[in-house]
Structure 1
Amino acid sequence: MANIKDYMSNTVDHPALRARMEPQGALHELPKTIERLGGSWAGMATVEELTTIDQPNTYSRNYVNVDSDGAEKVFMYIGEILGFEQGTALAPFGNFSIPEKGNAKPMVDDTTVKQIIVLGPPTFGDEYVQGCFINQVVAVHEAITEEGEAEKKANVIPPDLRGIQVDSGSSDSAKAKPVKYERVSLKRSVPGSSEGSANSASSEKKKEGNEETPAKKVAVGDYMIPSLLPGYGGPLCAHSKAQCVVLDVRDAAGNLVLPPDYYKVIVPGALAWLTAVLKAWIYIDKDKNLRRKYYHLCITSIDIVNKSPFDPIKPEVRLLDRPMANLPTPKKQDGGLVAMRSLLRPVATPSNPSGSSSASSSTSPSASSSATASDDVDMEDTSAAKNPKPAKVPRRK
């Protein structure tokens, strides 16, 4: 039986991954989901929609993609969660790194730690499914490339392509190579509605509920002490006041997943829909007298629509074999991560007694928060997109 190590080395062939394309699978009705999402899906986003910003060119701060009303413009992305060796990094350490040489510094209250989710094209997806993923990458790449080209005269280094491909069996993410994608035409259609997705989502609810979690009434935007996170502790954890924010992460049944359980659902091989806003940070390179711009897709919500067939790997406490640096005085972090979102449940579940939302029938926004630990997000309701485009996306010239 294939395991998670096989998946992370791109050598896996698991029947559960193939089943997603079958008539009752999670990807079978993707064309209808795309049609319902309309302009909320990133694959239909234009360059102008992705690069409208709300701040002038400033240094050492970020600016975000916004709509005509000044609200952050959020788009939806679908993909399969990739492995930790390919860049995915979860709490409690996230993207926190330990230097190879010298004294290691611990995480303190003012340390910025971000969780990173890396998506790839769904395994065994047909041409339509692969095209959906490609069009998302192309939309973002075209936006940041066009903006980079426009700023070359200002001595700005143009951005790099965000889609990467890791060599099979490679454990070194530094060997990742850019993928050159072109926008494709989406032509697959679904003749009838399948009840399988709703039934499977309902049955998975019984398996994936958070019955064992004591704080059942915790809501998005609430705080939890970091010591509850698996793997938290040891010499690298030196927080005194910092707390963990409950982000908008949902399992396959639509249940809110609490931070201690993230590792159970954000597993390599899981099929997920993300909502994210494109942000850019501008920094001045004093040594080269250049202005650099770094782009990020900051996640505002995560919906696992089909769980991974692999067992999760529980985070462990990190230990050190060398001295620690002197601890700085910790500072209190500002909080408040409450936002609005819509169209998070692409798989309709009308028979689900838990009341999980449906992308086809619900246009009311619900609460969400950013999946990056350092950013607050205010989202717009994208369910009624202006001038929604058809599901068949023409090739962009």
Structure 2
Amino acid sequence: MSTSSSATLSAAQRRTRLNGVFDTMVRAKLGFGPRSLAAMDYGVHFKKVPHWGGHERFVNSKGQEFEAEFFGELAPGTTCNAVGNYVSPTGKFEPIKDDQKVKWSWLLQVPTDGTKRITATFHNQVATLYNVIEDPDALRQKMWVTRSNPDENPDIIVITTDGLYVKNPKNASATPSPSKMTKVSAEEETLGEEDSENTLSDADNGTAPSSSAPITRKVGDVFNPNVLPGYGGIWFDHSPSVKLQQLDIRDPQGNLIPPYDTWMWIKPGSLVFVKATLYIFNMGSRKIYQLNAKSIQVLDPSDQNPVRPEEKDAPTTNVTKEEHDTSDLVALEEGDAGENTSNGPVNFESLLGGPQKRITRSAAEAALDEPTAADADLDEPMPLVESSKAAGKKKARR
């Protein structure tokens, strides 16, 4: 997973050095600039409108689907298990069936060792989302922000991916999964050199590896579900018509990460850039605020070693109806697509540059946060929030 010589540095060194990850995010306007969630105000730049089924969605000033752009660090506990956020719905264990939505749900926290601008901008992202919520103290609701400390302001953003599994996908044939090992004849000594070479075969397409073209992935490609680590066992009751789909999750170079490798990148401490649409699902007496992540790019991986997901054991206790979370079982309308409000994936790694020497933020932070002639293309720094916890509490509880 090493992507450059800078990978030998710690995450803190890669991110905080001059012209490192944090500086590059600002200059590339990934989470900054006019399209950033931190720069938006509810009721000014976006608003909610009725959606099918009595739900609500958010649109921009042109009436097109609003797409929020923001960043964060994946919080402790992040996993990519094959069962995703599925909860057995009837108070007793039931496996996942064909039509049930299974998604990954992850928490984003403020980046560790972030500069003042990074930290303030993350806070403003949370504030923008929090200010949409009609009644933060209402019971029976799930918000798209939460608290790491119940006595403090919200400081965590909750994102949800598209569905992992699709039934009867438009792509009739599954995309090739990781190549199988090739076999060599056990009687090589009786073969000529040319014949010996021809005994090497690719199990997927029957051609020699040397002649195999590179596989080009695209969002929506499908795979056999059993290539996903942790898939199988008692948790699944899928028919052969169900496939695993390629989500728009990318590495720092902008390349799609295949589903079976996602666990190596999506792990606690990884820094990600997200584009998401906003919905409110009105489920009777319950209100669910959901950020539907349309694309996720890992800007800088975590230093932590990834943990390969394993098959989950069957639950030891029954799940009660009260614990059941229906927020991710609500399907969006087929073909409900919004405005393409921003450019496609970027090769973030190629943007990193400048001096490679290691420096402390105390020496460089002032130069970054105080715009110079070289920074004329940057937005004005975000206004910093009050540092007083009491002031923050008063705003959050108002």
TM-score by length of 2: 0.61
Q: How many residues align structurally?
A: 286
Q: Does 1:95 align with 2:85?
A: yes
Cα RMSD of the aligned pairs, angstroms, is 4.0
Correspondence for 2:58: 65
Letter in 2 for 1:180: N
Letter in 1 for 2:232: G
1:76-87 alignment, distance < 5 Å: 76-84=69-77
TM-superposed CA distance for 1:284, in Å, is: 1.7
Instruction: Find 1:128's aligned residue among 108, 117, 122.
Output: 117
The separation in 2 between residues aligned to 1:161 and 1:98, in whole angstroms, is 22
Correspondence for 1:112: 101
Letter in 2 for 1:238: D
Instruction: Find 1:318's aligned residue among 307, 312, 317.
Output: 312
Residues 52/346 of structure 1: CA separation in 2 closer, same or farther (3 Å cut):
farther
Structure number, greater radius of gyration: 2
Correspondence for 1:188: none
Gaps of 5+ in 2: 1-8, 156-175, 180-213, 320-330, 354-376, 386-394
Q: Does 1:43 align with 2:33?
A: no
Q: Does 1:299 align with 2:293?
A: yes
Residues 284/24 of structure 1: CA separation in 2 closer, same or farther (3 Å cut):
same
TM-superposed CA distance for 1:322, in Å, is: 6.6
SS in structure 2 of the partner of residue 315 of structure 1: coil
Q: Does 1:259 align with 2:247?
A: no
TM-superposed CA distance for 1:212, in Å, is: 9.0
SS in structure 2 of the partner of residue 117 of structure 1: strand
Correspondence for 1:279: 279
Correspondence for 1:349: 350
Q: Check whether the contact 1:279–1:296 (CA below 8 A) recurs between aligned residues.
A: yes
SS in structure 2 of the partner of residue 139 of structure 1: helix
Correspondence for 2:198: none
Letter in 2 for 1:251: D
Correspondence for 1:163: 146
Moved more, 110-119 or 343-352: 343-352
The separation in 1 between residues aligned to 2:316 and 2:81, in whole angstroms, is 23
Residues 111/138 of structure 1: CA separation in 2 closer, same or farther (3 Å cut):
same
Residues 306/321 of structure 1: CA separation in 2 closer, same or farther (3 Å cut):
closer
Q: Check whether the contact 1:108–1:237 (CA below 8 A) recurs between aligned residues.
A: yes
The separation in 1 between residues aligned to 2:30 and 2:233, in whole angstroms, is 49
TM-superposed CA distance for 1:323, in Å, is: 11
Moved more, 45-54 or 67-76: 45-54
SS in structure 2 of the partner of residue 309 of structure 1: coil
TM-superposed CA distance for 1:137, in Å, is: 0.3
Correspondence for 1:74: 67
Correspondence for 2:153: 180
Residues 114/181 of structure 1: CA separation in 2 closer, same or farther (3 Å cut):
closer
The separation in 2 between residues aligned to 1:89 and 1:40, in whole angstroms, is 29
Residues 49/114 of structure 1: CA separation in 2 closer, same or farther (3 Å cut):
farther
The separation in 1 between residues aligned to 2:46 and 2:337, in whole angstroms, is 24
Q: Check whether the contact 2:276–2:295 (CA below 8 A) recurs between aligned residues.
A: yes
SS in structure 2 of the partner of residue 52 of structure 1: strand
Letter in 2 for 1:306: D
TM-superposed CA distance for 1:250, in Å, is: 0.6
The separation in 2 between residues aligned to 1:120 and 1:323, in whole angstroms, is 31
Task: State the identity as a percent.
Answer: 25
Instruction: Find 2:128's aligned residue among 129, 135, 139.
Output: 139
TM-score by length of 1: 0.61
1:183-194 alignment, distance < 5 Å: none
Letter in 2 for 1:255: N
Letter in 2 for 1:26: V
Letter in 1 for 2:132: A
TM-superposed CA distance for 1:97, in Å, is: 3.0
Letter in 1 for 2:146: G
Residues 227/159 of structure 1: CA separation in 2 closer, same or farther (3 Å cut):
closer
The separation in 1 between residues aligned to 2:259 and 2:227, in whole angstroms, is 8
Q: Check whether the contact 2:46–2:61 (CA below 8 A) recurs between aligned residues.
A: no
TM-superposed CA distance for 1:349, in Å, is: 2.3
TM-superposed CA distance for 1:39, in Å, is: 1.8
